[in-house]
Amino acid sequence: MKMRTKSLILMVLIIALLVLLGTNSSAAGLFKIDKISAIVNDTNAKIEWNDVEGATGYEVYVELPAVGYQYIGTVKSSGVQIIGFEQGTTYSVKVRAYKENGSNITYSDFSQEVNFKYGEDEEITSTLGTIGKIEAISYGTTGSLKWNKVDNADGYEIYASVGNGNFIDMGTTTSTEIKVIGMDKNRVYTIKIRPFMDSSEGRIYGSFSELAILKFESTTEEVKVNKVYNFRISVVGTKANLSWNSVSNADGYEVLVEMPEGTNAVYSVDTNKLTLQNFSAGYTYKAKVRAYKYVNGNRVYGDYSSLKNITIEEEEEIKLDRVTNLQVKVTGETAKFTWNRVSGASGYELEIYDPDRGYLTTTTTTISKTITGFDNPYVTYTVRVRAYKNVNGNKVYGEYSNVQYFWEEQIKVDKVTNVVVTTEGEKAKITWSKVSGASGYELEIYDPDRGYLTTTTTTISKTIAGFDNPNVTYAARVRAYKNVNGNKVYGEYSNVLFFWKEQIKLDKVTNVIATTEGEKAKITWNKVSEANGYEIIMYKPDGSTYTTRTTSTSKTFYNIEKDGLYSVQVRAYANVSGQREYGDYSDKLYFIGGYTLDETAPGQVTGVNIIRNGENVTFMWNPVSDALGYEMKIYTREECAYRIETYKTMETIYGIPSTENYIFSVRAFKYINGEKVYSQYATTQVF
C-alpha cells in the first residue's frame, strides 16, 4: 500500500505561465470548450479538452475543499498536468478559452466541470460522456428537469444551490428526469448534474452539466423587469467603479462594455455594483446595465440604462530624483540604512542582496531602515535604494541609488591563555586567564572513551569529573565568546593542554612471610607508605583462589591443608576520589601447610641453597643441632613431585627438567618416645 501524506495542497502547472495584461472582458457564446476529461494516477492529474478555434490560450481553475475555485494558471495548449493533491480528496477542474486583440481579452464560457481524485494504486480515467443542456421548467412551487442519457453511466448525482449559497449534494438517481417541489416564491434555484459509473477502483465521475435555473413564477401573467436607473461610474487610475439603483424584482444584472476596437464585453452580477480594472489610458469605453429575471429557466431582461463613458486620462510623466548619500552602519548582524530625502516621494524601496537568501526587497516611508539577519561573516552584502510615488493606485519609481557594500560587524575576542589543569583522582580543575570583554568561555574536552565534550562557564575555571581511565591521555582547550545580538561570537581556541588521571604511586609490598601452625597460616609483610589497606590473594592446592582485604600488615588464614602447597601475593591500595588505587603485587610467596608444633620440635632449617647444573640439582642447608634427619619436598605447581628423607644436609637429584619451575622446602625431624617429631618447614625456594 502506498503511504498517504497529508500536507498543504501545492498545485504546479507543468508548463510556462503566461502573464496577461490589458482589459478583461467576457464573450459568452462566441467560442466554447465542448469536451473536457481527466486522467488520474498516483502522481498527477492530466486534464485535456478540445482545441477552440482562434483561442490564444486557456485559463485553468481548480476547486479546493473549503476554499472554492482558485485560478492556478494559463496554458497555450489544450492540456495540462497538475501535481500535489491530497489523497482521498475529490477535486473539480474547469477551463475557459480566451482571445487577445491588442490590449483587450475576450473570454469564452467556462467548460463543464470534470472531477478527479488523487490516485492510489491504478490509473483511473474519466471515460463517461457529458450531459448537454438541461431542460428546466418551473410551474408554481414545482419544477422539472430533463437531460440526455449518458452512455455507460450507472446514475447521476444532483447538486442544488439556493440563492447565492453553496451547492449541496441532493442525492443520486438512475433516471434522466427529476421533479423539484416546494420552491419558495422569488427564490432562484440553481441545479447542476454529473453522471457516474461504479467500478472496482471506486466511483468514476463524468463532467458537471451546464447550470439549470428554476424559480417560482406565475405562468398566467407577463413578467415585466424594470429599467435600471441612476447608473454611475467613478474612475480611479485604470480602475472603474460601476453602481446603479436596485431593481425590485430583478434576479441579477448584466453589464455591457463597448471596447474602442468595436468588441463588447459582458459581465453578470447579482448585486448593484461592479468594479472593472486594467483599462488602457487614452481610450474611451462605454458601459450600460440592464436587470434580468429568471422565468422558466430563461432570463427575461429589462431595458438598458443610459450609456456612460469610461475615460482613462493619459498620466502625466512623474519624474523622481535619484536617491543619494546612501549610508550603512553595521552593529553585529544588524544594519541601519540611511539616505537623503527625495522631493515628492511617497516612500522608498530597498533592494538587498544576501548571498545566502538571495534578493530581499522591503519598503519604508521614512529615510532610514534597520534590518537584522546579516550573520554570515564570510559573504559580502549589497544594498541600493530608490524612491517611489503613489499615482492612481500604482507606484512610479525613480532611479536606484549607487550600490553600497557591507559586511557583518566583526567582534574581536582575544585568544585564551595560561590554561592550567590540576587533577585530583578522576577530577580535573581547568583554569585560565580572563579575556577582556568576554561574556563567557567554552571548554572542549577530548576523552578517548567519551569523545568530544563541550561545556560553557562564565567564570575562569571549571571542574569536571569522570576522567577515570588511567590508560588514556585527555586533552582540553578553551575559547572565549561574546554575546552579540543573540548570537555568540567566538575568539580563537587556547593551545591544547594534555592531562591524565591522577596517579597515586604506591610502593610494592615486600618481605612477605608465612608462618604455619597446624591448620593456620599467618601472613605478614612490611608497611607501605600512604597505603589505606592491603589486598591479599591466596592460591590454594586445588587451583582455586581466595581474595581478602585488611587495613593491618598481617592476615591469618584457617583450614590450611597439611602438606598442601599454597602461595600468596599482597598489594597495597589507597582510597582516591571514592575509588581504590592499587600498587604492584608482591612477589609470590609459597608455603606448605605444617603440623602442630610444641617445644620438643627441632629448630627450623635455615640457609637453603640450590645449585642447578642442567637437569641435575643440588640442595644444601645448614644443619639443625637437635635434628636426627631431614625431609625435603619438591613441588610442581600441581602436586608434590619428590619426597626424600635424608640424614645429610646436601642432596643431589638427577633428571629434573628445566622446562618449568619447582618449589623446594625442607624440614628437620627427630624421634621422641618412638614418634617422629617435625620442625616447621624452611622458607620455600623456587628454582
Residue 67, pLDDT > 70, answer no
pLDDT value at position 619? Answer: 94
Regarding predicted confidence, which is higher, 649 or 75?
Answer: 649
Say which residue, 167 or 262, is predicted with more confidence. Answer: 167
Q: Are residues 613 and 681 in the same domain?
A: yes
- Is residue 629 a contact partner of residue 586, using CB atoms and an 8 Å limit? no
Domain-embedded: residue 204:
yes
Per-residue model confidence (pLDDT) at position 459: 95
Q: How far apart are CA 254 and CA 290, in angstroms?
A: 5
pLDDT tens sequence across 562-579: 888 888 999 999 887 667
Note the pLDDT tens digit of each residue in 509-529.
999 998 888 788 899 999 998
Q: Specify whether 111 is located in the same domain as 141.
A: no
Which of 366, 231, 345, 343 shows the shortest CA–CA distance to 288?
A: 231
What residues does 70 pair with on adjacent strands? 62
Q: Confidence class of residue 218 from pLDDT cuts 50, 70 and 90? A: low
Confidence of residue 401 (pLDDT cuts 50, 70, 90): very high
Q: H helices then E strands: how many in the chain? A: 0, 59
Widest Cα–Cα separation across the chain = 161
Residue 151 dihedral angles phi and psi, to the nearest 5°: -60, 140
**253 shares a domain with 331:** no
Whichever domain contains 586, its CATH number is 2.60.40.10
**Which of the pair, 517 or 221, is modelled with greater confidence?**
517
Instruction: Give the rounded percent of residues in the chain with a pLDDT score beyond 90.
Output: 33
The residue among 546, 566, 592 that closes a domain is 592
- What pLDDT, on the 0 to 100 scale, is given for residue 384? 96
- ∠ CA(67), CA(246), CA(307), 5° rounding? 100
Mean pLDDT of 453-475: 90
C-alpha cell at 483: 554575546
DSSP-derived secondary structure for 341-377: --TT-SEEEEEEEETTTEEEEEEESSSEEEE-----T
Q: What is the mean pLDDT of residues 432-449?
A: 92
C-alpha cell at 322: 535619484
Residues 32 and 87 in one domain: yes
The Cα 654–Cα 651 span in angstroms is 10
The verdict on residue 221 lying in a domain is no
Say whether both 24 and 120 belong to one domain: yes
| Pair (203, 237) in one structural domain | no
Contact 75, 81 (CB under 8 A): no
Indicate whether 24 pLDDT > 50. no
pLDDT of residue 4: 30
Closest CA to 435 of 407, 411, 464: 411
Task: Give the CA angle between residues 597, 598, 599 to the nearest 5°.
Answer: 135
159 with 254, same domain: the answer is no
| pLDDT tens for each residue of 95-115 | 888 888 877 788 888 888 887
The reply to whether 413 falls in a domain is no
- Of 592, 625, 649, the last residue of a domain is 592
With bands split at pLDDT 50, 70 and 90, how would you rate the model's confidence at 22? very low
Q: Decide which of 189, 215, 241 is a domain's last residue.
A: 215
Contact 276, 257 (CB under 8 A): yes
Classify residue 222: in a domain, yes or no.
no
Residue of 114, 130, 118, 121 whose CA lies nearest to 45 = 118
User: What CA–CA distance (Å, rounded) separates 294 from 621?
Assistant: 140
Distance in angstroms (rounded) separating the CA atoms of residues 421 and 370: 46
Write down the pLDDT at residue 529.
87
Domain range for 98:
12-125
Predicted local confidence at residue 441, as pLDDT: 96
Q: Band the pLDDT of 533: cuts 50, 70, 90.
A: very high
Residues 162 and 99 in one domain: no
- Nearest residue to 180 via CA among 151, 213, 221, 150: 213
Contact 619, 666 (CB under 8 A): yes
Kindly state whether residues 151 and 211 are assigned to the same domain: yes
State the pLDDT at residue 479: 96
* Band of residue 331 on the pLDDT scale cut at 50, 70, 90: confident
Nearest to 254 by CA among 266, 242, 241: 266
430 & 398 share domain: no
- 75 shares a domain with 52: yes
Q: What is the mean pLDDT of residues 413-435?
A: 90
Pairing of strands 104-107, 23-26: parallel
Tell me how far apart the alpha carbons of residues 113 and 255 are, in angstroms, rounded to a whole number.
25
Please report the pLDDT score of residue 596 as a whole number.
64
Q: Is residue 109 part of a domain?
A: yes
Q: What is the pLDDT of residue 475?
A: 93
488 inside domain: yes
Q: Which residues pair with 246 in a beta bridge?
A: none
Q: Which residue has the higher pLDDT, 208 or 2?
A: 208
Domain count, the chain: 7
Pairing of strands 212-215, 202-205: unpaired
pLDDT above 50 (res 122): no
Rounded distance, CA 18 to CA 280, Å?
19
Q: Decide if pLDDT at 27 tops 50.
A: no
- Whether 319 is covered by a domain: the verdict is no
pLDDT at 454: 94
Please give the grid coordinates belonging to residue 111. 467548460
Q: Is residue 1 part of a domain?
A: no
pLDDT, residue 654, reads: 92
For residues 295 and 379, membership in a common domain is answered with: no
Give CA–CA dist 643/666, Å, rounded: 10
Distance from C-alpha of 257 to C-alpha of 269, rounded to nearest angstrom: 14
Rounded CA separation 398/322 (Å) = 6
Task: Give the DSSP letter of residue 185.
Answer: B
pLDDT at 348: 96
How large is the average pLDDT for residues 500-508? 79
Torsion over CA: 18, 24, 30, 32 (sign): positive
Question: How much is the mean pLDDT over the chain?
Answer: 83
Say which residues have a Cβ less than 8 Å from residue 402's Cβ, sequence separation at least 6: 326, 384
Q: Do 346 and 365 meet the contact criterion of CB atoms below 8 Å apart?
A: yes
Written as nine digits, the cell of 385 is 535604494
What whole-number distance in Å separates Cα of residue 638 and Cα of residue 658? 16
Q: Please state the three-class secondary structure of 10-65 as a single string.
A: CCEECCCCCCCCCEEEECCCCCCCCCEEEEECCCCEEEEECCCCCCCEEEEEEEEC
